[in-house]
Every structure is written in structure tokens, then in C-alpha cells.
């Protein structure tokens, strides 16, 4: 399928991820006093990925995350020429979603931007965790996220269940790390909200690019070494041919 069609799918998928996941945090997490909380936000992120896996998986593979694209490329499951177009589409989708979310949220009287579901450490960490904690958790969780993706889309895995496993993995990741840094494991997801949150969030954005790419890259290199090469030539999260 043409790269522009697949890039459009990545744009829409990343838009849905950020709008649904970050939207749940901005609009519903604490509303009005008994909102959905951390667990609800974690579930929202997992559901956005699961639903997109079976919607755009057959078209683009449903990466909707630069770290996933990077890891799949290093695992020789994705062509190098398509990495940058995917990254551009993912980041633009995240920014567009954050812009729409900001337009909705700012319409409420008394609205203040706050952290706007952005990621951060130190004073910007929900639990006050330092930079090294954020770096470490992002590397470890993105590593395991990519390992789940690579395993669930392996030829040897049961067909038709990859989207469920990967969506649940993202839910678990958020349950672990929202208190630490508001959970990234996705540089595009971090970029969109940070642009609307403010200078402090933007100054920390580098962590949420570098750490997920390191974690995803390690998984992309390690998975074939550990478990062999019986992998799909065109892996997609939705388990359908691209």
C-alpha cells in the first residue's frame, strides 16, 4: 500500500491515542471529585491502542508510536525508507489531537492549562520522582512493550490476538508509571501535550524521546537474537496482512 495511505492511517491512529488517552486524563481523571483516576486513564490508553489495532492494523501496522517504528525497523520488520514518514505522521497526529483537546478543555470557565497530561520528572512528576527514575522506567517499560509487540506479531503466536495483548500491555505500563512521569513510552504522545503545557514541560521533552527510543531499540535488536527469525515479514498489530 502507498506510503501516503499508511502515513494517513498513522496520523489518525496517533490522534486517537492522544485524544482518547490524554483526553481521559485532562477531562475525566478527577471530574468532579470522583473521576476515573489513574486506573481509568491507564485503561483509556489501552483501549485506544486496542481499537486502533483492529482499525488501522491492516493498513499501516498501527505503530502510532515512533519508538515502535524504530524497534520494528531494528528488528528488520519494517523498511528504513518508511521510518521518517511514519514519525512525521505520528507527531503531527499527536499535535493535532492535543490542539483539539486544548480547544475543548479551554472552553470551560476557570480552565488552567496545568501540565495538560504532559510527561515530566521532578516538580512535574505526579509522585515527585527524579529524572533518573523517569529515564529508567521509560527505557524498561518501552523495552517490554516492544517485546510484547514483537512476540505477539511473531508467526508462532496465536493469530488474531495481538491487538488484545498489546492493548493490555499498554494498560499495565500506565498502571505502573503514571505516578512516576505520567507515562510516555511514546515520543509522539509526549510531544503533542507538551506544546500546550508550557516551557517547563518542553524543557523535559528530550527524556521522553531518548528513553523510549533506547528501550524500543534494545528490544528490536534483542528479540531476533533471543528467539530467532520466524517472524512475519509484514507484522501488523492487528494480525492482518498489510
Say if 97 falls within a structural domain: yes
CA distance 163 to 146: 13
CATH number of the domain residue 48 falls in: 1.20.1080.10
Which residues are paired to 231 by β-bridges? 154
Structural domain total, the chain: 1
Say if 54 falls within a structural domain: yes
Identify whether the C-beta of residue 92 lies closer than 8 Å to the C-beta of residue 99: no
Provide the pLDDT for residue 181. 98
Provide the pLDDT for residue 120. 98
Which residues are paired to 154 by β-bridges? 231
Which structural domain, as residue segments, surrounds residue 60? 3-227
Task: Show the cell assigned to 104.
Answer: 475543548
Say if 242 falls within a structural domain: no
Say if 237 falls within a structural domain: no
User: For the CA atoms of 176, 214, 221, 183, what is the dihedral angle to 10 degrees?
Assistant: 20
Provide the pLDDT for residue 49. 98
Say if 9 falls within a structural domain: yes
To the question of pTM greater than 0.75 for the whole model, the response is yes
pLDDT (tens, 9 = 90+) of the chain, 242 residues, equals 899 999 999 999 999 999 999 999 999 987 766 689 999 999 999 999 999 999 999 999 999 999 999 999 999 999 999 999 999 999 999 999 999 999 999 998 888 888 999 999 999 999 999 999 999 999 999 999 999 999 999 999 988 999 999 999 999 999 999 999 999 999 999 999 999 999 999 999 999 999 999 999 999 999 999 998 654 444 455 443 33
CA distance 168 to 165: 5
User: What is the full DSSP assignment across 123-176?
Assistant: GGSTT---HHHHHHHHHHHHHHHHHHHHHHTBTTSPTT-HHHHHHHHHHHHHHH
Say if 232 falls within a structural domain: no
CA distance 54 to 140: 26
Provide the pLDDT for residue 91. 98
Provide the pLDDT for residue 110. 85
Amino acid at each position: 500500500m502507498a506510503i501516503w495511505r499508511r502515513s494517513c492511517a498513522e496520523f489518525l491512529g496517533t490522534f486517537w491515542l492522544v485524544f482518547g488517552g490524554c483526553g481521559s486524563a485532562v477531562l475525566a481523571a478527577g471530574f468532579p471529585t470522583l473521576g476515573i483516576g489513574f486506573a481509568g486513564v491507564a485503561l483509556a490508553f489501552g483501549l485506544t491502542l486496542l481499537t486502533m489495532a483492529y482499525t488501522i492494523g491492516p493498513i499501516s501496522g498501527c505503530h502510532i508510536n515512533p519508538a515502535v517504528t524504530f524497534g520494528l525497523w531494528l528488528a528488520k520488520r519494517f523498511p528504513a525508507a518508511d521510518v521518517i514518514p511514519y514519525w512525521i505522521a505520528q507527531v503531527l497526529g499527536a499535535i493535532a489531537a492535543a490542539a483539539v483537546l486544548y480547544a475543548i478543555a479551554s472552553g470551560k470557565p476557570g480552565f488552567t492549562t496545568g501540565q495538560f497530561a504532559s510527561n515530566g520528572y521532578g516538580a512535574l512528576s505526579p509522585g515527585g520522582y527524579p529524572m533518573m527514575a523517569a529515564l529508567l522506567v521509560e527505557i524498561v517499560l518501552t523495552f517490554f512493550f516492544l517485546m510484547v509487540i514483537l512476540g505477539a506479531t511473531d508467526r508462532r503466536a496465536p493469530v488474531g490476538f495481538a491487538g488484545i495483548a498489546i492493548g493490555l500491555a499498554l494498560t499495565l505500563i500506565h498502571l505502573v508509571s503514571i505516578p512516576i512521569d505520567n507515562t510516555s513510552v511514546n515520543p509522539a504522545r509526549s510531544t503533542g501535550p507538551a506544546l500546550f503545557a508550557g516551557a517547563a514541560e518542553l524543557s523535559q521533552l528530550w527524556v521522553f524521546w531518548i528513553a523510549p527510543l533506547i528501550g524500543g531499540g534494545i528490544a528490536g535488536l534483542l528479540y531476533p537474537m533471543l528467539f530467532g527469525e520466524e517472524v512475519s515479514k509484514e507484522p501488523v498489530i492487528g494480525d492482518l496482512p498489510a
